[in-house]
Structure 1
Amino acid sequence: MTEKIYRSYLEIRSLDELKEVKKPSENYSVELNDPKDFQLNKFFYKTIGKNCQWIDRLIWTDLNWIDYVSNDQLFTYILKDKNEIAGYFELLFNKQSKEAEIAYFGILEEYFGKKLGGYLLSEAIKRSFNMGSRRVWVHTCSLDHKNALKNYLARGMKNFKSETLIR
């Protein structure tokens, strides 16, 4: 049986285009994961990704994860509810092109419905531009959370490419 997957590529080219969602409560914060900890990236990838069919990295060894997280262009930010982890995003910043890719983005299931997606995406976009980005981009697909594409569009991102994949 074949399955159609719809993938969208979106971008935002100026912080002025951001339709920001403010922090829903003072309990929440977004912090750079420093020092880097591959176990945290691995945990989020597996936990958030299980419902979105993120499968590419499931075969990675700890050495693969360490190598990935050690990339000096990778920045992982953690959404916290007081001291509890609630979500994350990974930014891959290309210093030459001055572009940032939101490589992974998600919220733990127990935090769904709390209006955190818009806030976390706003933070990802702001932090990307604060690094010196001239463009922030992301791709999402029909396997991701049902609100993913709506959230990207609502924050001011614009679709620059779409494709249909068959698997």
Structure 2
Amino acid sequence: MITVTTWHLEQTSAEDLRPAPAPAGLDLRLVLADRIGPEFARFLYTAVGGPWHWTDRLPWTYREWHDWLAQDGLETWVAWVSGSPAGYIQLEPRPEGEVEVIYFGLLPGFIGRGLGGHLLSHGTARAWDLADRHPAREATRRVTVHTCSLDGPAALRGYESRGFRRFRTETAEQQAAPTPGPWPGAGPYTT
């Protein structure tokens, strides 16, 4: 068993966001994957989350991925560097004007290049204006994100640097498990 700490963070105003500029010297594009399919969504989930124990959606069927992606207002923004996917941020609207940053991160080979802060800034700004793109949605009143001690070592600091504040901390015991990879043994510090 291992002890896992989970931090719940929020912004309650668009003015809370402290943006990070795009890193210089990269051919970077942030693109809304407007018609993302289960295959690409699962690829991003495993390639980004594999080193950090993202396993809750690994058993999902194609239909479960499809239905989740089809929900109104869900947005996936993909960072592309020189034509390669480098990371993503996924926004999921919740009731009462809340938008959750449900998934966010970089593929291992792109960590440490200054992309994360900029991608998080972009996605958080999009969360604040989600109702502008989805008129059936109510205006955003709160943006939330959750991270834990199994995530990347800079995750909590990165969220707080962008203006998120902790509103709850939980600690729980869970079964230790190997990271699934993008393939077994893959991680941000090996090649």
Alignment TM class, shorter chain as reference: over 0.9
The one of 125, 143, 147 equivalent to 1:140 is 147
**How high is the TM-score relative to the length of structure 1?**
0.94
Of 71-80 and 151-160, the range deviating more from structure 2: 71-80
Separation in structure 2 between the aligned mates of residue 17 and residue 72 of structure 1, nearest angstrom:
26
1:83 maps to 83
Q: Does 1:164 align with 2:171?
A: yes
1:31 maps to 31
AA in 2 matched with 1:10? L
Aligned residue-pair number: 165
Pairing of 1:17-166 with structure 2 (within 5 A): 17-25=16-24, 27-94=27-94, 96-131=95-130, 132-166=139-173
Separation in structure 2 between the aligned mates of residue 160 and residue 38 of structure 1, nearest angstrom:
32
AA in 2 matched with 1:6? T
Map Cα deviations across residues 115-138 of structure 1 (whole Å, 9 max, x no partner). Answer: 111111101110011113111000
Contact map agreement 2:38 2:65 (CA 8 A) in 1 = yes
AA in 1 matched with 2:61? T
Q: CA deviation at 1:36?
A: 2.4
Separation in structure 2 between the aligned mates of residue 69 and residue 14 of structure 1, nearest angstrom:
26
Of 136-145 and 9-18, the range deviating more from structure 2: 9-18
Separation in structure 2 between the aligned mates of residue 117 and residue 16 of structure 1, nearest angstrom:
20
Q: CA deviation at 1:93?
A: 1.4
Q: Secondary structure at the match of 1:164?
A: strand
2:135 maps to none
Gaps of 5+ in 1: none
**How high is the TM-score relative to the length of structure 2?**
0.83
Q: Secondary structure at the match of 2:59?
A: coil
Of 139-148 and 74-83, the range deviating more from structure 2: 74-83
Q: Secondary structure at the match of 1:5?
A: strand
Separation in structure 2 between the aligned mates of residue 147 and residue 62 of structure 1, nearest angstrom:
32
Gaps of 5+ in 2: 131-138, 175-191
Per residue, is there more strand in 1 or in 2? 1
Map Cα deviations across residues 55-108 of structure 1 (whole Å, 9 max, x no partner). Answer: 1111111111111111113111111113211100110013x4111100000101
Q: Secondary structure at the match of 1:51?
A: helix
Map Cα deviations across residues 24-68 of structure 1 (whole Å, 9 max, x no partner). Answer: 136212111012222111001111111111111111111111111
Structure 1's consecutive aligned runs of 4 or more residues displaced over 4 angstroms after TM superposition are none
Q: Secondary structure at the match of 1:120?
A: helix
Separation in structure 2 between the aligned mates of residue 91 and residue 126 of structure 1, nearest angstrom:
11
